[in-house]
Structure 1
Amino acid sequence: MNSTQGGPRESDVTATPAARATPATPRRPHAPDRRPRTSARPGPPRPAPAPSAAARDALTLLALPLLAALALPAAFAGGGTRRWFGGRADSQRAEAQAAKDAAAAAFYELDTAQRDLRISVETITAVDDSPAARRAVADFEALGRRVDEASGRYITAVDAQDLDRDDLEASAAARARTDLVAAKDELANVKRELDRFAAGLEPLLGKAETQLARLAPAVERARQALLAASNALDAVRASGLAADDLAARLAALSPELTKLNQGAGQHGAQPTLERAERVAREAAAIAAEAGRLPERAAEIDHRLVSLRTRAQALTTRAGQVEPVLSELRRRFTAACWQDLQEVPRQAADTVRQAELKLKDARAARDAQRWPDATALLATARALLNTTDEAVSAAGDRLARLNAVQKDPQGEIEKTRFAIRDAQRLAMTGRTTPDPRHARPLDEAVARLERAVEGLTGRHPDYWHFLTETEAVRSAVARVVARIREERGAGH
C-alpha cells in the first residue's frame, strides 16, 4: 500500500517483531532519584512517565490491525477490486476489455435480430405454405447455423482469457483483444446477413400479417353469427314452431366453434380463417331461414288452401269436357278431336293424384317438415297444371275450329304475309336470292298451297289445316332469323 493513504510504512509491515523490540541505540542506565523526599501530604499529580522503547514497539504491533482496517476503505475508494500495475499490461488489458464490451454489444444485437426474425418466419409459416414460404424457412435455418457458429466463436474468445486476473500478461491481453475483435466482426457480418434476409421477407410478411389481421375479426364474426342464429331459433320456438332441421344444422356447427376457440396456433391461421368464414356463412343462413320461417309457414298454409280450391275447380271443369267433345264429334271429322278422347278420364285421375299430394303436404306442414311440405305442394301444382292444360285444350280446339270454319281466309292471309315478308328480306341488297334462303321459302309456299287445297270437299280437316299453317309460319320464322344472324355477323 501507499504510505500516503494513512497505512504503516513498508519497513514497519515487513520487519519482524524481534527486530522491532530491539532499540536502535543502547539505553543509558537509569539515574537514581536525587530529589528530597517530602511528607506524604497530597499535592498536584506528577506527569506519567514516558513509555519505554519496548512499550512503544508493542503498541505499534497492537495498532497494526486497526490501521489496516482504517486503510481498507481508502484502498477501495477508486471503485474497483482490480489491482493495476500500470504500464503496457494495463493498456493491453483496457483495450481487451473494450473489445470484449464491443463484442458483447454485437452479440446482443445479433441475438435480438435473430429473435425478431424468428417471429417473422413463424408468422409467415402460420398462414403461408407456398414454395416461397418453405424456401424462406430453409434459408432461415441456414442463417441460424451461421448465427450459432459466430456465437460459438464469441463465447470461445470470451472464455479464453480472464481479463480480471491480477497477473494477466500483456501478450495474453493482446491475444484476447485480437480474438474478441474478430468475433465482434463476425457477429456484425452475420447481423448484416440477417438484415438482408429480413428485407427480402417483407412481401411474404406483409401478406401474412394481412391475413392474420383478418383472422381475429373473422373469428369474432363467426361467433356473433352463431349467437344470432341461436337467438333466431329461440324466437321461432317461442312462436310455436319447432324448427328441428335448423336446430340440427346449428348443432352441427358446434365442433367448428370448438376449433375456432382453440385458435390458429393449434389449427393454423389459413384453415382457421376459412373455418370462420364458413361458419359465419352457415350461421347467417340458419338465422335468415329461422327469420323467414313464420312467413314460410303462412305461405305454405296459403298455398294449401289455394291449390285445394283449384283442384275443386278443375274437377268441375273436367266434367264440362265431355259436352265439348260431343260437339266436336258432331261437327268435325275424327282427326279434329280424336286426340282429345282421353281428356276427361285423365283429368279426373290427375286431379285425384293432386289431392292426395295436398293431403300429404298438409300432414308435413302439421309436423313442421317444411322441405317435405314444399316439395309436395310443388308436385301437386304440377299435376294441376297438366290437368288445366288438358281441360283447356278441348275448349280451345273447339273455338279455333269454329273460327277457321267460319273464315279460313284469315289464317291463309296471315301465313302468306309471313312468307312475303321473309322473301323481301332475302332479296334486300341482292339481285338473286341466296339458295339457302330461297329453297325453304319456296317449300313454305308449296306447303301452304297444299293446306288450302285440303279445305275443299264436303268434310275438310280443319285441324290439319291449322297445324299446317302454324308449321309453315314456324319454318319461315327460322329462315328470317338465319338471314338476320348472317348479316349481323357480316356487318
Structure 2
Amino acid sequence: MTAIHAQPQARVKPSAVREVLDVLTLALLPVPLIVTVVPHAFAGGGTRRWFGGRGENRRAEAQAAKDAAAASFYELDTAQRGLRISIETITAVDSSPGARRAESDFAALGRRIDEVSHRYISAVDAHDLDRDDLEPSTATRARSELEKAKDELDRIKSELDRFEQGLAPLLDKAENQLARLAPAVERAKQTLLSASNALDAARAAGLRADDLAARLATLGPELTKLNEGAGRHGVAETLQRAERVQRDAESIRTEAEGLPERAQEIDRRLVSLRTRAQALANRAGSVEPVLSELRRRFTAACWQDLQQVPDQAAASVRQAEEKLREAGSAREEQRWADATALLGTVRALLNSTDEAVSAAGDRLRRLDDVAQDPRQEIDRTRFAIRDAQRLAMTGRTTPEPRHARPLDDAVGRLDRAVAALDGRHPDYWRFLTETEAVRTTVARVVAEIREERGSGSGSGSGSGSGSGSGHHR
C-alpha cells in the first residue's frame, strides 16, 4: 500500500470517463433495448440508410445498369479514337473524293456520338446511386434511363463498326503508301549519295562534269524537304518527291559513271570520222572521170541526174570537216552533248556523200552490164512475173482479177521496155528503172496473195473471168 500511494496520481480525461460510462450503461440495459438503440447509435457519420432487401435490389440493379452503360461508353470511346487515327491516316495520304467523303461522314458520325454520349453523361449525373436517402422509385428510374443510354451507345457503336468496315479499302491503300514512305525516302538519300560519289570520281579523273554538278545542286532543296518529313509536306507529296529525287539522282549517277567511257567513245569517233572524211574527199575526185565515161558512151538521160555529184560531194566533205573541228573543240571543253550532236551531223553528211559518190560508179557498172547483155535483166524480171502467175493460179481455174490485172500490166511494161532497146541509142537507164519497177509491182501482188491465203479470205476455185492471158506468157 505504501508503494502504491507513493506513485503520483494520473489525470483521467473527461472524455475517457464518458466512454467508460457509455459502455457500462449499454451493458446494464436489457437485451431488446440494446437492439433498438444500436442502429440509431451507428446511423450517423455518413452511413447508408437501410430500407430493406427490395430497395437494396433496386439500387443494385441501377448500379449494374450504370456499370453496363459505362462499359458501352468506354468501348464506343475507344473505337472512335481508333477510327479517328484511321481517318487521319487516310486524309494524310489520299486526297481523292472518296477520302474526303469518308472524312466528312466521320465528322457527321462524331456529332451523333457526341449527342448520345451527352445523354449518357446526363443520365449518370442525374442520379447519385450512393445517396443515403435513395428512394426505390428513383433507383428504378435511374436504371431505366441508364439502360436506354446503353442501348443508344450500343447502336451508335454498331454503326461506327459498319463505317469502319467500309473504310477498309481506303485504309489499306493509305497504309501501303505509308509503308512505302520510309524506304522510298531512304532510297532517295542513298541514290543522292551515290550520285555525289560518282561525280567526285569523274572529277578525280579530270572530267569537270559541270552540267551534272548543276543538276545535282538542284536536288539540294528537295533533300531538305525530304528531311523535314511528311508531317510538314504530306505523305503523298513526300512519297512523290522521294521517287522523283531517286530517279533524277540515278540519272546523274549513271551519266557520271559513264563519263570516262563517253569521253573515250567521242575520241574514237573523232578519229574515225576524220579518216572517213579524208577517204571520201579522195573518192569524190574520182566522180568526174566516171561522169566523163558516162557522157561518152550513154545518152544524157543516163547521167544527167549525176551532174552535180562532184560539187555536192566536195561541199559536203568540207562541211563535215568544219563540223569535225567544232566537235573537237566541244570535246576539249568537255561539252559532251554538243560534241555528240556535232559528230552525228558529220556522220549524216558523210553518209549522204558516200551514197552520191557510190551512185556514180554503180550507175556506170550497171549500164555497162546491161549494154553488153540485157538478157540477164530481162530473164530476171520475167522469172519474177511467171513465179507470181503460178502462185495466183494455185488451186484455181482462173486467177482473181485483182491479181491478174497488175500481172498482165507488168508483162506489157516489160515487153515495151525490151522493145525500146532496139533503137540506135537505147536509154539503158530507163530500161533498168522500168524492170525494177515491174519487179516491185510483182512483189506487191505476191505479198497480197500470201496475206489473203494466210488469213483464209481467198477463195479456192473462183470463176472470175479477169484478164488471165498473162499467166502463160
* TM-score computed with the length of structure 2 as normaliser: 0.84
Q: 2:153 aligns with which of 175, 178, 187?
A: 187
323-332 or 273-282: bigger deviation: 273-282
Find the aligned partners of 2:170 and 2:402 in 1 and give their Cα distance.
63
* Shift, 1:442, TM fit: 1.6
Q: What CA deviation, in whole Å up to 9, does each residue of 1:396-438 have, x standing for no partner?
A: 1111111112211111111111111111111112222222222
Q: Is the 8 A contact 2:49 2:133 kept in 1?
A: no
SS at match of 2:236: helix
Find the aligned partners of 2:417 and 2:404 in 1 and give their Cα distance.
20
- Report the counterpart of residue 50 of structure 2 in structure 1: 86
Give the partner amino acid of 1:123.
Answer: T
Summarize the alignment of residues 341-420 of structure 1 with structure 2, pairs less than 5 Å apart: 341-420=307-386
- Report the counterpart of residue 311 of structure 1 in structure 2: 277
* TM-score computed with the length of structure 1 as normaliser: 0.81
- Report the counterpart of residue 277 of structure 1 in structure 2: 243
Find the aligned partners of 1:420 and 1:173 in 2 and give their Cα distance.
114
Find the aligned partners of 1:84 and 1:176 in 2 and give their Cα distance.
18
166-175 or 191-200: bigger deviation: 166-175
* Shift, 1:113, TM fit: 0.7
209-218 or 295-304: bigger deviation: 209-218
SS at match of 2:424: coil
Q: 1:324 aligns with which of 286, 290, 298?
A: 290
- Report the counterpart of residue 75 of structure 1 in structure 2: none
* Shift, 1:46, TM fit: 9.0
Give the partner amino acid of 1:189.
Answer: R
Find the aligned partners of 1:144 and 1:323 in 2 and give their Cα distance.
97
Q: 1:476 aligns with which of 424, 427, 442?
A: 442
Q: In percent, how many aligned pairs have the same letter?
A: 72
* Shift, 1:90, TM fit: 5.0
1:451 pairs with 2:411: no
- Report the counterpart of residue 428 of structure 1 in structure 2: 394
**Matched length:** 431
Find the aligned partners of 1:248 and 1:458 in 2 and give their Cα distance.
73
1:267 pairs with 2:233: yes
Find the aligned partners of 2:125 and 2:292 in 1 and give their Cα distance.
121
SS at match of 2:425: coil
Q: 2:124 aligns with which of 143, 153, 158?
A: 158
Q: Is the 8 A contact 1:82 1:164 kept in 2?
A: no
Q: Is the 8 A contact 2:48 2:131 kept in 1?
A: no
Runs of 5+ consecutive residues of structure 2 not aligned to the other structure: 23-41, 458-473
144-153 or 189-198: bigger deviation: 189-198
* Shift, 1:94, TM fit: 4.3
CA 1:391–1:84: 2 relative to 1, 3 Å: same
Give the partner amino acid of 2:48.
Answer: W
* Shift, 1:315, TM fit: 0.7
Give the partner amino acid of 1:309.
Answer: T
* Shift, 1:241, TM fit: 1.0
Find the aligned partners of 2:261 and 2:449 in 1 and give their Cα distance.
51
CA 1:396–1:59: 2 relative to 1, 3 Å: closer
- Report the counterpart of residue 216 of structure 2 in structure 1: 250
CA 1:190–1:307: 2 relative to 1, 3 Å: same
* Shift, 1:62, TM fit: 6.1
CA 1:67–1:202: 2 relative to 1, 3 Å: farther
Give the partner amino acid of 2:86.
Answer: S
Q: What CA deviation, in whole Å up to 9, does each residue of 1:276-323 have, x standing for no partner?
A: 222222221221111111111110111111111111111111111111
* Shift, 1:200, TM fit: 2.6
CA 1:160–1:341: 2 relative to 1, 3 Å: same
Q: Is the 8 A contact 1:150 1:187 kept in 2?
A: yes
* Shift, 1:47, TM fit: 6.4
Give the partner amino acid of 2:50.
Answer: G
- Report the counterpart of residue 139 of structure 1 in structure 2: 105
Find the aligned partners of 2:339 and 2:357 in 1 and give their Cα distance.
27
Find the aligned partners of 2:58 and 2:17 in 1 and give their Cα distance.
40
Runs of 5+ consecutive residues of structure 1 not aligned to the other structure: 1-42, 69-77
Give the partner amino acid of 1:301.
Answer: D
93-102 or 103-112: bigger deviation: 93-102
Instruction: Compute the RMSD of aligned alpha carbons.
Output: 2.7
* Shift, 1:166, TM fit: 4.0
* Shift, 1:189, TM fit: 2.3
1:124 pairs with 2:90: yes
Give the partner amino acid of 1:466.
Answer: L
Q: Is the 8 A contact 1:229 1:284 kept in 2?
A: yes
1:237 pairs with 2:203: yes
1:440 pairs with 2:440: no
* Shift, 1:240, TM fit: 1.2
Find the aligned partners of 1:407 and 1:306 in 2 and give their Cα distance.
41
Q: Is the 8 A contact 2:65 2:143 kept in 1?
A: yes
439-448 or 312-321: bigger deviation: 439-448
Summarize the alignment of residues 290-309 of structure 1 with structure 2, pairs less than 5 Å apart: 290-309=256-275
Q: Is the 8 A contact 1:340 1:394 kept in 2?
A: yes
Q: What CA deviation, in whole Å up to 9, does each residue of 1:233-271 have, x standing for no partner?
A: 111111111112222222222333333333333333333
Q: Is the 8 A contact 1:437 1:479 kept in 2?
A: yes
Find the aligned partners of 2:443 and 2:3 in 1 and give their Cα distance.
160
